[in-house]
Structure 1
Amino acid sequence: MTTADAALAAPPSAEPEALARRAALALAYHRRTKHGLKAYAAGPETLDWDAQPDPFRTFDGATAEALPLVAHTIEARFGDLFGPAAPPPAPFDRETVAALLELSFGLAAWKRLGPDRWAVRANPSSGNLHPTEAYVIARGVAGLDDGVHHYVSRDHALERRARLAPEPGTPARLLVGLSSIQWREAWKYGERAFRYCQLDTGHALGALVFAAATLGWRVKLVPAGAGDVAALLGLDRVADFSGAEREDPELVAEIIGVDDPPPGLPALAADPDFRGRANVLDRHPLYRWPVIAEASAATASEGASPMAGEGAAPPAAPPPAAPDTARAAALILGRRSAQRLDARAMLPMPAFLRMLAALDPGAPAFQAWDFTPRLHPVLFVHRVEGLASGVYALPRRRGMAEVLKAALRPDFAWSPVPGAPEGLPLYRLAEADARGVTRTLSCHQAIASDGAFTIALLAELAPLVAADPWRYRQLHWEAGLIGQVLYLEAEALGVRGTGIGCFFDDEVHRLLGIDGDALQSLYHFTVGAPVADPRILTEPAYAGRPL
């Protein structure tokens, strides 16, 4: 068994000394993987793109069943997904499950530039590397065998992995499990990759929420320890991953239609009859990053109720009226991460305010988030009509404005923004042309200064992680979920966004006056008018589905 395998298999301890040790490891990992102006976090010295790991996991020997391509038949419009005109709950059956997967984890298109060809997917990913794997757990779903199935996005197919225990008389259940293949990110990003895997889990959860909404469904996280998730998905089966890259259990989400499901995870059959062996993604890895396995083990959820003591935010006031948007399915599949932004384009103020209102933790897109909001945007505004360029803050929970005032620079103004809707706590901290600073802080990337605005998401980090190291993952999930909301809201408003995982952590903190690690920047995001590259060709994701 490798070091990584042992770390995944070892159950964390709840003893106070072990808890403190795990928290220290998680915080040490975070400090160790910071980028700085003088040095980046440890990563590969060279990349051979011709030897990139296989982007698609399959289980050789598992029975695969192709799913129908039906997302293009869904008529719900994006602006109606969570309002009075939302679609009624669709039945659980093979076609609706196919639509859910197509719109959350399926391919959106193939791209081609010269001899190079690559896929883009409905769920965004750091560097388009896609470490997140999706599993469907189905019971009583018409047209699907009761059991655990792995989704292969390349083929839009389900691989049958295991059987569930029968539960006569119970309502149909549909759940989705997520795991991470950390090597997919580590191959390019080295030690910082564990962060990106967690951000991508949040992106994937957000993608699932919006895809479910097109079918009238809701999404709710199921409290479960990492060991239980691994056992249900078969990730703890050493022989099935012999010689292949392991998958780290992340979460299981319940899809809720008409009936309320029973609590907890479904049970595997007494003889689950697991089938298939994981394919090898990279036969000749050039580097090893053992600190990733250490961070994974330190932050694994150990109990059945990691959400104890938390509570969802109260419902928010509806955001400003959306424009007449495209069909939700077309918008979701048309979403792209911007590669370049127009440095002259202005963003209308109503569009800016709508995107910020969509980040309210009580907004419908956060229906799956049964946690107190712990991520708070600091905005570097460059070109928003009617708004002075400068630095702004958007505290996302009651009382947080005072906490941020005490933690950030004492010379910040904290002036409420005139014209902001009631209930949107947007504050101007300082007027300034921050384009050059924002570009520098985001690893010298022009996209951070060329957009209309760039966000740095500040997390309430050290106290939460000290109390439960699993919160290190969960904070990144929240950041990724916020990113997915911004991605789709930007797309609906005719602009485009992109996540920025590369930034100089402590330089951001010094600029804002942050001392210590109670608050830390976890994720950056920028929005603006995209500039297309005419050299890149777009091809259909699947034969039979139009562009």
Structure 2
Amino acid sequence: MNNLADAVISYHNRTKHQLNAYAKGPESLDWDDQPNPFRRFSSCEAVKLPSPGTELSCLFADLDKPEQIEPQPLNLANLGLLLELSFGLSAWKQFGPDRWALRCNPSSGNLHPTEAYVLCTDQELLPPGVYHYVSHDHHLERRSRFTAETAGKEVYIGLSSIHWREAWKYGERAFRYCQHDIGHALAALSYAAACLGWSIELLGETADADIAAWLGLDRSEDFVATEHETPDLVCRLHDGQTADVEFSTAHLAALSQSAEWFGKAERLSGRHFYRWPIIDEVSAQAVKPTTVAERLALPNLDLPAPSHNLPASALIRQRRSAQHFNGKSPELPLADFHRILAALLPNAKPPFTAWNWPAQVNIVLFVHRVAGLEPGLYVLPRTADAATELKPLCSADYEWQTVEAPFEFYRLTAGSVRQAAKTLSCHQPIASDSAFSLGMLARFADNVDTEAWRYRRLFWESGLLGQILYLEAEAAGVRGTGIGCFFDDAVHGVLGLKDNDWQSLYHFTIGEPLDDSRLQTFPAYAHLSESAAST
């Protein structure tokens, strides 16, 4: 194993939750110094976007055939809608004096470490330069102006992470959650683009250093040292109307070097009482170099229609994380269960159209209440060879009984697994009171040993699957919740796995939510109307 891989796996093992001890985190939360969830840059020109809230006629089921959705024109209103449905606010919640925003893209602990940028060379859309999206105000902050001549009409969306936002609450394990959230955000962007008849192309070959230079993230003087942003992904936007031609990102380096930059990031926290240097260390060890471009051929899968086929934009805005589930609710219909699982299989629809790498994550399910399916422990392989690889590594006690379904599906053992699901997910009832919960099991050691940065990619893939589960749950008339807290090695022990070849990276649960009547809900952008009315 190489030194970088060894260091990354050491971080992963160090940040596992154990039955007798949790990963290192703050002993108490400094609520008065919670990081500001909204990044802003001072001394930047604000570019107002048209009012948010437009509903599109595209239904959620239409996203199963994205090539049939009529493309919308690429203008400022639709660019704003893309950003809103990907990264914007979905609602405000209030409990007593506390008030907080929810967003269209999921985030661990609702802390939102992910930041979004637009790099534009299309002079008819925006003056060429780099722009930062502020979800609270639904506007763009102009971070740079390109002084070199631009060619073509290109729009790129870049994603970065502020690790401090997660570390404030989750300590050393926060780096994992930031990577989950990048996967959530990539999927959210892919879904939102499809609603408009567009698509995004993930430029997966791009090095972190190039993304940092293009977006101005390498300008250390513009950021508070402990609140810097790390580059993650960049995507090219395809509007469905312009013919695709051969293109290169080589000119972006010259544009960024010629750019005039504006603004400095405003401080998010004052005290930074706890410090977690291991996060900066693993971030450096998992830096992505330039890699070979990969473009996968994706199969076309016929998915059953969702039972709650709402307008896709409405469904995206209503996505929530359930805090509690009704443990006595009726069973989830089998057709809904099959639709949810089928949507996790690689196929030629969003968000897999924005994913360039072979699937590495498979699904272990704790089934509690699904109509026509016996409770028990199940496996959904997401690649043709996964079951063959996993079976000899798992406990010999498991039966690997083939289950009738529209896809490859196995039952390991029958019987109630509610207590096991709850215990393994840090004793959380959300894993046992739902219709089913699951763990995402990834090919681990070989990936990290091959290229240490793939550690991040495995979490991105898990987060991408998480966003699929969130939206498919809504389309089934139920609700989902991502679970980042689970006892890593206890999960592996239940399966009989004994080494780092496979690791569980993310858990999830789906069922009928129990709403808290004490919480008040307010519209996402009412504050913009109120602000305009007062001026």
Considering the TM-score relative to the shorter chain, is it more than 0.5? Answer: yes
Give the Å deviation of 1:71: 4.2
> In structure 2, which of residues 53, 76, 81 is the aligned counterpart of residue 99 of structure 1?
81
- Counterpart CA distance in 2 for 1:473 and 1:244 is 21
Paired with 1:407 and 1:413, the residues of 2 have a C-alpha distance of 13
Aligned match of 2:185: 204
In structure 2, relative to structure 1, the CA distance for the partners of 1:163 and 1:426 (3 Å cut) is same
Q: Which moved more, 1:403-412 or 1:449-458?
A: 403-412
2:307 corresponding residue in structure 1: 323
1:260 aligns with 244
- What is residue 340 of structure 1 aligned with on the other side? 324
Matched, 1:436 2:419: yes
Shift of 1:508: 0.2
Runs of 4+ in 1 over 4 A off after TM superposition: 165-169
Alignment of 1:386-535 (within 5 A): 386-418=372-404, 420-421=405-406, 424-535=407-518
Q: How many Å separate the matches in 2 of 1:376 and 1:41?
A: 24
Q: Deviations over 1:145-168 (max 9, x none)?
A: 211100011100100011246566
Work out whether 1:109 is the aligned partner of 2:96: no
State the alpha-carbon separation in 2 of the partners of residues 438 and 519 from structure 1.
19
Q: Is the 8 A contact 1:311 1:372 kept in 2?
A: no
1:269 Cα offset (Å) = 5.0
Deviations, residues 277-310 of structure 1 (Å, cap 9, x unaligned) = 011111101111100001100111012x2x55x5
Q: Which residue of 2 aligns with 1:374?
A: 360
Match of 1:13 in 2: none
Q: Give the one of 337, 354, 371 matched to 1:352.
A: 337
SS of the residue aligned with 1:450?
coil
Match of 1:15 in 2: none
2:6 is aligned to 24
**1 CA distance for matches of 2:452 and 2:437?**
29
TM-score for the superposition, normalised by structure 2:
0.94
Aligned-partner Cα distance in 1 for 2:402–2:149: 55
Among candidates 139, 162, 169, match of residue 157 of structure 1: 139
Q: What CA RMSD, in Å, does the superposition of the two structures yield over aligned residues?
A: 1.7
Letter in 1 for 2:182: T
Moved more, 281-290 or 234-243: 234-243
Amino acid at match of 2:309: T
Distance apart, 1:114 and its partner CA: 0.4
Shift of 1:217: 0.8
- Corresponding residue of 1:186: 167
Q: In the alignment, is the contact (CA less than 8 A) between 1:165 and 1:270 conserved in 2?
A: no
Q: Where does structure 2 lack aligned partners over 5 or more consecutive residues?
A: 530-535
Instruction: State the match for 1:296 in structure 2.
Output: 283
CA deviation string 1:155-208 (max 9, x = no partner):
0010001124656652x2111100000000000000000000000000000100
Measured against aligned partners, the alpha-carbon deviations of 1:426-474 in whole angstroms (never above 9, x if no partner) come to 1111102000011000000000001101110000011110010010000
2: CA distance, partners of 1:352 / 1:394 = 12
Contact 1:337 1:498 (8 Å CA) reproduced: yes
Distance in 1 separating the partners of 2:400 and 2:83: 43
Distance 1:459 1:242 in 2: 35
Distance 1:183 1:211 in 2: 27
Secondary structure of 1:254's aligned partner: strand
Query: Aligned equivalents of 1:467 and 1:200: distance in 2?
Result: 24
Match of 1:42 among 4, 24, 41: 24
* Structure 1 letter corresponding to 2:47: E
Are the equivalent residues in 2 in contact too, given 1:409–1:514 (CA < 8 A)? yes
Task: Summarize deviations over 1:456-497 as a string: whole Å, max 9, x none.
Answer: 000001111001001000000000000000100110110000
- The answer to whether the Cα contact below 8 Å between 1:457 and 1:523 also exists between their aligned partners in 2 is yes
Count of equivalent residues: 521
The 8 Å contact of residues 303 and 342 in structure 2, kept in 1 or not, is answered as yes
Q: Tell me which moved more, 478-487 or 214-223.
A: 214-223
CA–CA separation in structure 1 for the residues paired with 2:12 and 2:277: 14
CA distance in 1, matches of 2:512, 2:328: 9
Moved more, 53-62 or 194-203: 53-62
- In structure 2, distance between residues paired with 1:523 and 1:413: 25
Question: How far did 1:406 drift?
Answer: 1.5
Inter-partner Cα distance in structure 2 for 1:70 and 1:166: 33
TM-superposition CA deviations, 1:311-355 (whole Å, max 9, x none) = 525313211122351111111011000111110121000000000
Residues 252-274 of structure 1: per-residue CA shift (max 9 Å, x gap): 01111233262336342553011
TM-score (norm 1): 0.92
Instruction: Provide Cα deviations, 1:68-116, integer angstroms capped at 9, x if missing partner.
Output: 1244242211111232784222222211110000100001111100000
What secondary structure sits across from 2:332 in the alignment?
Answer: coil
Amino acid at match of 1:314: L
SS in 1 for 2:64: coil
Alignment-derived partner of residue 78 in structure 1: 60
Whether the aligned pair in 1 keeps the contact of 2:121 and 2:150 (CA below 8 Å) is no
Letter of the structure 1 residue corresponding to residue 373 of structure 2? L
